[in-house]
Amino acid sequence: MTRPFRFGVNMVALSTGDAWREKCRKAEALGYDVILVADHLGMPSPFPSLVAAAEATERPRVGTFVLNTGFWNPTLLAREVATADQLTGGRLEVGLGTGYVGPEHDVAGLPWGTPGERVDHLRRTVEELDRLLGSDEHQPRPLQQPRPPLLVGGNGDRLLKLAAEHADIAAFTGAKAAPGDSSGKMSHLTPEELDERVATYRRLAAGRSAPAELNLLTQLVEVTGDRRRAIKPLLDYIPHLTEDAALDLPLLLVGTVRQIADQLRAQRERYGFSYITVLEPYFEAFGPVIEELADE
C-alpha cells in the first residue's frame, strides 16, 4: 500500500517569539503537516519551541528532529515528552538519534562515547520511554497512549534494527559520517547505497505487525528551470560525483515544481519515502511542491 505524502519543516533558527510564531503559521499556511525542531547547541531548545509552535497553529503536528539522545537522561526525557504532549494537545512526535557532532558534547561537558556506546544509550532511552510512558503510574501522563509516535533516525545496521523493532517512523538521512570523523561533516549516499540501506531496514522489519512510515531528510530545495546550472555550485562539496550523479541524489531537490514533484513520486515508489522533511531555509520555496502533491 502506498502511503500518502506528509511534509515536515525542520526549524533551526530563533530570533524573537513573535517571529517564531509567525514562521510556524506560515508553515501551516503552506501546507506542512509537521513542524520540527532540531537538537543542536546554538539552535532553539526543542520542547519549548514545539509548545510555542503548537499554540501558534491549529493543524500541524510538532516533533523533535531529532533529539541528540546523548544530551538526555531517559527518565527526565520521559517527563519532557509527557508534558509536551499534554501542552500540544496530543500533537507531539518524538524523534531520536545518537548524535553525530562530538564537539557539541565537549562544550556541554558530556561524554561522547564510541559509536557502539551511543547506540546502546539510544536503545536504553527508547526502551525506558516505552516502559515509563506505558505505565499508568508515570506522571504526568502523555495525552497520546501508550506514548507519542516514535521516530528513529540513522543509517547504521544497529540503528536500523532499533528502528525496525520500536519506531513508528524510520528516518533516513541520505548521508553518512566519514569513518572516525566526529565534526558533523557528512558524505552523501548514492541512490544505490540508499537502496541497500532501505533494503536492510525492510529485512530487519519483516516481522512487524504494521509497516512503519519512512522519512527522508532532504538537504536542498531549488526551484529552477535549469537543473544543471543550479547543481554546479554544489559539485565542489561532492567532488566524487559527476553532475548527472549529483542530480540523481535523493536528498537534493532541484528543478521545476513539476520535476521535483515527479522526483518525490519516483522516490516514494523506489524507496517508500512518503514523509519528506525539508530544512527551514527552503521551506517557502518548497511550498508550491506541497500544493502540487496535495492529496497524493
For the packed helices 17-30 and 46-56, what is the interaxial angle rounded to 10 degrees? 60
What pLDDT digit, counting tens, does each position of 35-47 carry?
999 999 999 999 9
Sign of the four-CA dihedral 271, 276, 281, 286 = positive
Instruction: Give the model's pLDDT for residue 286.
Output: 98
Q: Which domains does the chain have, with CATH numbers?
A: 6-223+250-292 (3.20.20.30)
User: What pTM was estimated for this model as a whole?
Assistant: 0.95
What average pLDDT is seen over the chain? 94
Instruction: Give the model's pLDDT for residue 103.
Output: 94
Please give the Cα distance from 60 to 226 (Å, whole number).
33
What pLDDT digit, counting tens, does each position of 165-212 carry?
999 999 998 776 666 666 656 677 889 999 999 999 999 999 999 999
Percent of the chain residues past pLDDT 90, beyond the cut: 88
Please give the Cα distance from 168 to 164 (Å, whole number).
9
Answer for the pair 39, 125: CB distance below 8 angstroms, yes or no. no
Please give the Cα distance from 74 to 81 (Å, whole number).
10
Instruction: Name the nearest CA neighbour of 34 among 162, 215, 211.
Output: 215
pLDDT band, residue 237 (cuts 50/70/90): confident
Please give the Cα distance from 57 to 54 (Å, whole number).
5
